[in-house]
A and B are shown apart, each in its own frame.
Chain A
Amino acid sequence: MEFILSLGIGVMTGSGVWLILRPRTYQVIIGLSLLSYAVNLFIFGVGGLKVNAPAVLQDGVDISAYTDPVPQALVLTAIVIGFATTALFLVVLLAARGLTGTDHVDGREQP
């Protein structure tokens, strides 16, 4: 499972970095989204990977049977904030497209 998770993070980060370096605003926003997915998985991973383990403590159960709840809370916050800022970026992207008439990130086509 560690291998699949790290492969997923790596592929998404690689694609994301490539995409945010592209000249079209739509590519940039998809790149940022992919990067934020990769980061969310990464945060999830730092708590250690466990399958079928609860995050909420109960009395009398061994602590090693639990998964770390903090990264899950962090991921939740990061998802919400990432979603909001991406939506905001989308609005600016559309405004830029409307004002400049092009979807190039610099607002004008390269000659």
Chain B
Amino acid sequence: MNLSHHLIIAPILVPLATGALLLLIDERQRTVKALVGLGSTLLLFVVALGLFRFAASIDGPEAAQQGVYLLGNWAAPFGIVLVVDRLSALMLVLTATLAIAALIFALARWHTAGAHFHSLFQFLLMGLNGAFLTGDLFNLFVFFEVMLAASYGLLLHGSGLLRVKAGLHYIAVNLAAALLFLIGVSLIYGVTGTLNMADLAVRVSTVGPEQRMLLEAGAGILGVAFLIKAGMWPLNFWLPPAYTAASAPVAGIFAIMSKVGIYVVLRLSLLVFGHDSSASSGFGLHVLLVGGLATITFGAIGVLASQALGRLAGFSVLVSSGTLLTAIGMGSAGITTGALFYLVSSTLTISAFFMLIELVERGQDAGASVLAVTMEAYGDADPDEEEQEGDLGFAMPGTMAVLGICFAACGILLAGLPPLSGFVAKFAMLSAMLNPIGGDTTATIPGYVWFVVFLVILSGLAALIAMTRSGIRTFWASMEGTEPRVLVIEVAPVFLLIAATLYLTVQAGPVMRFMDDTTRALTTPQQYIEAVFDARRAGVPGTEVQP
């Protein structure tokens, strides 16, 4: 038990302390607030990288035990645990990357559009990090609610009719989802008598047939709560309006929020229903597969039908979620590896795209875009559309060219064309679908797999068509549009995220090996379970508490 072990709780404590500290600083001292927030986010990124390096080096039970942090120093099934493994460390790094980009973007002007932006932002990060780290179902609920409560505030940041209307629906849907979460958790507790995920994974195979139905009902209700968050059709009608209405940096960080649902579904389905021995093994995979396909279809149609760029991005979130759910639903390790790569790549892309949209639309003639845009997306004029805040950086030279390049990069990433990481991700998934046993050409591929391949490629085509159409209208056909005044620190985050996808492409080999190790750890949860149970309590050297 050395000091570096306490690093595990830092991704929760750092934003909590910073968010609370920021509440005490007067709202007029914007520079101080911005610096404190940025410092905390950078620190978070360093911590996440440290945990990532640690997680990537986990190679045995001893190292895996080091990744378990006993909150309150109670042994595993009784106390709440935090667990760092490859998947959670990966999500932490992804969150911190998006957070840095979104925060830098917000510093240009958005953080002054309302009160307590920085505190809410830190609390959102706390909720996200906690949800990724926790190894306890009810603790997951608590972190979910922390994240959601912060997101309610952030969605309304900047106020305005459009945001309040979208926010009302968003909050109502998520409150209902939270109630489903509670019902699911309590049913599972009622049947198994535990809330610890590792303990649950052990006990699930001992549940008798008469109780199994109740357990599966609980798991199903719990799954619905996560799928609402992930945006599976038909539970996703709230998502595009909410993400479109959010201010650009908020939408940028919201890109990871739909992935929290995906993360939990992936984690729990593989941990609890992953073993072959249990009678419930593979529970719910069909629902994920069919729901994922329906989500891709709905998202692709939405992408094609979107007039406004904001809605296009909102529906791209759904396409991304649908692809991931389908991949998880197919329940094969190779596809999951590709899906993890796709998760990282598409989250970075969508976050960059949300921020880019605001810059691009800033230059467009307001009258023209109202005509082009559906009414509910642009019900009102942006209240904070004044040109000001020249003190935070230089205006970008050659704005339209730079934005055009970023836009093209986003289009390529969303469509999954070479050379960027969107292509690598989709290629990895599709090749795993078509080579289930790895190079065995004689094996027949079931019909539904062809359908999945068809839909995934078609959704890429839909994204390409929509992006090309919007790109032509925005960059080539806008005669009367004025050159938008874009600051360097607004383009920099977009560049940062696109550079991250470029890094993923160049380093695709090592990254894919890491994803492969992640999948292997997820599909063989024994190591995770043993690590949680064997974690040593502080101050009690050598005592190992057996369940």
Which of these, A42, A71, A88, contacts B183 with CB under 8 Å?
A: A42
Question: How far, in whole Å, are A88 and B168 apart by their CA atoms in the complex?
Answer: 10
Question: How far, in whole Å, are A72 and B543 apart by their CA atoms in the complex?
Answer: 30
Per-position 1/0 for A87-105, Cβ under 8 A of B: 0110011011001100001
| Inter-subunit contact A71/B164 (CB<8 Å) | no
**B contacts with A: majority SS:** helix
Known: A70-B195, A74-B138, A92-B156. A36 touches B148 (CB 8 A): no
Question: How far, in whole Å, are A42 and B187 apart by their CA atoms in the complex?
Answer: 9
| Inter-subunit contact A105/B169 (CB<8 Å) | yes
A contact residues around B182 at 8 Å (CB): 39, 42-43, 74, 78
B contact residues around A20 at 8 Å (CB): 172, 176
| Inter-subunit contact B178/A85 (CB<8 Å) | yes
Question: How far, in whole Å, are A28 and B175 apart by their CA atoms in the complex?
Answer: 11
A contact residues around B159 at 8 Å (CB): 95
| Inter-subunit contact A81/B164 (CB<8 Å) | no
Let me know if A84 is at the binding interface, CB within 8 A.
yes
Which of these, A42, A105, A106, A107, contacts B161 with CB under 8 Å?
A: A107
| Inter-subunit contact B145/A81 (CB<8 Å) | yes
Known: A32-B176, A39-B179, A74-B138. A85 touches B145 (CB 8 A): yes
Question: How far, in whole Å, are A94 and B186 apart by their CA atoms in the complex?
Answer: 33
Per-position 1/0 for A54-73, Cβ under 8 A of B: 00000000000000001100
**A contacts with B: majority SS:** helix
B contact residues around A32 at 8 Å (CB): 172, 175-176, 179
| Inter-subunit contact B183/A89 (CB<8 Å) | no
Which of these, B160, B169, B175, B186, contacts A46 with CB under 8 Å?
A: B186
Let me know if B149 is at the binding interface, CB within 8 A.
yes
Question: How far, in whole Å, are A42 and B149 apart by their CA atoms in the complex?
Answer: 23
Which of these, A81, A85, A93, A106, contacts B142 with CB under 8 Å?
A: A81
Measured between C-beta atoms, what is the minimum distance from B257 to chain A in Å? 16
B contact residues around A85 at 8 Å (CB): 145, 148-149, 152, 171, 175, 178
Known: A70-B195, A81-B145. A88 touches B171 (CB 8 A): yes
Measured between C-beta atoms, what is the minimum distance from A30 to chain B in Å? 12
How many residues from B make CB contacts under 8 Å with A? 31
A contact residues around B164 at 8 Å (CB): 92, 95-96, 99-100
Let me know if A6 is at the binding interface, CB within 8 A.
no
Known: A92-B168, A99-B161, A100-B165. A35 touches B176 (CB 8 A): yes
Residue of chain A at shortest CB distance from B188: A46
Which of these, A43, A70, A84, A89, contacts B172 with CB under 8 Å?
A: A89
A contact residues around B54 at 8 Å (CB): none
Question: How far, in whole Å, are A93 and B168 apart by their CA atoms in the complex?
Answer: 7
Let me know if B338 is at the binding interface, CB within 8 A.
no
Per-position 1/0 for B82-98, Cβ under 8 A of A: 00000000000000000
Using a CB-CB cutoff of 8 Å, which residues 134-176 of chain B contact chain A?
A: 138, 141-142, 145, 148-149, 152-153, 156, 159-161, 164-165, 167-169, 171-172, 175-176
B contact residues around A100 at 8 Å (CB): 161, 164-165
| Inter-subunit contact B161/A74 (CB<8 Å) | no
Let me know if B514 is at the binding interface, CB within 8 A.
no
Measured between C-beta atoms, what is the minimum distance from A18 to chain B in Å? 13
Residue of chain B at shortest CB distance from A93: B168
Question: How far, in whole Å, are A35 and B190 apart by their CA atoms in the complex?
Answer: 20
Let me know if B189 is at the binding interface, CB within 8 A.
yes
Can you list 20 A-B contacts (CB < 8 A)?
Answer: A20-B176, A32-B172, A35-B179, A36-B179, A42-B182, A43-B182, A74-B185, A81-B142, A81-B145, A82-B178, A85-B148, A85-B152, A88-B153, A92-B152, A92-B156, A92-B168, A95-B156, A99-B160, A100-B165, A105-B172
Beyond A77-B142, A96-B165, 12 additional contacts (C-beta under 8 Å) are A20-B172, A32-B172, A36-B179, A39-B182, A46-B187, A77-B138, A85-B175, A88-B153, A89-B175, A92-B164, A99-B160, A107-B165
- 3 tightest Cβ-Cβ pairs between the two chains A and B: A46-B190, A43-B186, A107-B165
- Which residues from chain B sit less than 8 Å from chain A, CB to CB? 138, 141-142, 145, 148-149, 152-153, 156, 159-161, 164-165, 167-169, 171-172, 175-176, 178-179, 182-183, 185-187, 189-190, 195
- Which residues from chain A sit less than 8 Å from chain B, CB to CB? 20, 25, 28, 32, 35-36, 39, 42-43, 46-47, 70-71, 74, 77-78, 81-82, 84-86, 88-89, 92-93, 95-96, 99-100, 105-107
